[in-house]
Structure 1
Amino acid sequence: MRHLAKLPDGLLRLPVAHRALHDVAEGRPENSRAAIRAAISAGYAIEIDLQLTADGQAMVFHDYDLKRLTGDTGPLRQRTAAELSRISLAGGDGEGIPSFSEVLDLVAGQVPLLVEIKDQDGAMGPDVGPLEAAAARALKAYDGPLALMSFNPHSMAEMARLVPDVPRGLVTSAYDAAHWPLSAATCDNLREIPDFDRVEAAFISHEAADLARPRVRALHGEGVPVLCWTIRSPEAEAEARKLADNITFEGYLADIPG
């Protein structure tokens, strides 16, 4: 019998705001406190990303390098949490990069959180652990609806060990080798989602354009919740919902079911 921490109902019912409800035209950079507050106010679930600092802290930030999202440059992993807190997010009101603990305090269970742990190995391999440990420490006192996920199955295997009662899933993809900095063999392996049972996953979040893949349909047929990424229009949402249980969206305001 698989140990299975169940995906919170809110992550099946509420559309999930990708990197929170970001819109730089409105002063809300992705993964910012402002974007998180806006998502809470609108009643959406929230997806965020975690990266690791030089001093072993989990920060809410998508990229490995600072250049695209701030006025600074260089790998985030080479900066301390204190340094990152002072680096302003581009397009915002001057706020720095938030820590995972700060975001958990801000959300405080008001809406569900979907937390992606970014691959730290560089090739979806087993060189993981410090970011997972930092995330687990931050989660110790959190009791709101939340699930963890990663493209790297080794990350979720580690979270199964550290926080077995927190639901976890795999972010999955068509893994077109032309678009991934991975070997063709790695892409071929990950494409078939071979680690689903090993990591005791409760769900997958799959690339929207690839939802018809037989392996995805088979999992769904077995009752596995299928989320998808990333939806950018109501029309794309309508198509995705034919095959997925919920969406991760950005660039428009998804309808919340009544």
Structure 2
Amino acid sequence: MSSSKFVRRALVGGALAAGAALWAVRPRSFGDKQKHFVPSVPEAWYAHRGLHDAGSGLTEEYAVESAAYVALARSMAIKAGYGSAAESGPIAPENSLASFAAACEAGFGIELDLQLTLDGQVVVVHDPDLMRVAGDPRRIEDLTYDELTRIPLFPAPAEPGDAVAHPLPKSQMNPPLVTTPDAAPDGYYQHVPLFADVLRVVAGRVPLIVEYKFDDNAAWDERCDELMEKGDELLRAYDGAYVIESFNPRAVDWYRQHRPEVCRGQLAEGAPVSNPGAWAAGLLAFDWLSRPDFVAYDWHGGNSPQMRATRALGATAVSWTVRSSDELAECDDWFDRHIFEAFVPRR
């Protein structure tokens, strides 16, 4: 083959590859948004799992700014009627009613996570189990909501600002020997809440980013459909601003098919090539399925080629999760909205 033919084929091949890549990362079309009267992601700072005084992001790495954040979470929760200044332990742990009420009092939007209990109740909790937030290794899908009401988040000896709960007695045995108390513990505490109760507390005061959470983002089963249907049923009845998102493109596609009028987002992050599925998702290669209105990306990747491309094509870029003023300064130019924790952003 002559060098000129090789160059022509390489150019054609490169153009086709670039075209395919742009097709894959293309968000929902402007015409489709107009047709369904789709709102944009409301302009707000979004408090990750609520404005919380225990839980995600409150690690030693962010201690310089997190003290003010924890103090704000506590004061806003108390203002909303949760706990008191006399409480020695956490008042508003992550993904609790108190943390969401605190965010509302402070005027922040809220990012939260949905899962299903054993008895099919839609609850707000991030991890598949309770180990990190309650010292209890049992899984959400193996517990009823009634049981969850008797399991305190960040129980004593937890302190404000703790990132991880202390393990419960016998929780680290093999197998664990943790059981649910027969009665609710004495004193003030927060537990995993129903999504319905969260919506009642927020009551349209601030916008929500609602994440549908799954163990395996490459799989889909009847419980996944159940979560989508029940979560959406609650949102249909809710009188307030919200958008939805998920790492699982099938969940975002569920909204494309069933609720095209809802603003939908694809969650993603960069991943190594050694994990092909996650690597492709990080490249936004599955956006052809979900055709999102926004992409919520790990804040480190805002300047990546795929994020620059999808933003240029019309997607709103949302960062997760910014935990300091320095991180915000590093990524702010590449995102339109931010999900934050562990520091108080200037508004």
| TM-score above 0.5 | yes
CA displacement at 1:124 relative to structure 2: 2.5
Moved more, 66-75 or 14-23: 66-75
Identity of matched residues, %: 33
Structure with greater proportional helix content: 2
Residue identity in the other structure for 1:125: A
| Cα separation, 1, equivalents of 2:53 and 2:192 | 16
1:95 aligns with 2:190: yes
CA displacement at 1:85 relative to structure 2: 2.5
Which 4+ runs in 1 deviate beyond 3 A?
1-9
| Cα separation, 1, equivalents of 2:346 and 2:116 | 34
| Cα separation, 2, equivalents of 1:116 and 1:175 | 20
SS in 2 for 1:242: helix
1:175 aligns with 2:271: yes
RMSD: 1.9
Among candidates 44, 50, 54, match of residue 14 of structure 1: 44
Among candidates 103, 115, 119, match of residue 214 of structure 2: 119
Evaluate the alpha carbon distance shift between residue 86 and residue 8 of structure 1 in structure 2; reply closer, same or farther with a 3 A threshold: farther
TM-score by length of 1: 0.89
> What are the ranges of 5 or more consecutive residues in structure 1 without an aligned counterpart?
178-182
Larger radius of gyration: 2
Which residue of structure 2 lines up, in the alignment, with residue 224 of structure 1? 315
Which residue of structure 2 lines up, in the alignment, with residue 180 of structure 1? none
TM-score by length of 2: 0.67
CA displacement at 1:20 relative to structure 2: 0.8
| Cα separation, 2, equivalents of 1:196 and 1:175 | 16
1:73 aligns with 2:119: no
| Cα separation, 1, equivalents of 2:272 and 2:346 | 31
User: Number of residue pairs matched?
Assistant: 248
- Correspondences of 1:69-218 after superposition (within 5 Å): 69-90=133-154, 93-120=188-215, 122-127=216-221, 128-176=224-272, 184-218=275-309
> What are the ranges of 5 or more consecutive residues in structure 2 without an aligned counterpart?
1-28, 55-69, 75-90, 161-187
| Cα separation, 1, equivalents of 2:257 and 2:120 | 19
1:51 aligns with 2:115: yes
CA displacement at 1:173 relative to structure 2: 0.6
CA displacement at 1:161 relative to structure 2: 3.1
CA displacement at 1:7 relative to structure 2: 4.6
CA displacement at 1:164 relative to structure 2: 2.9
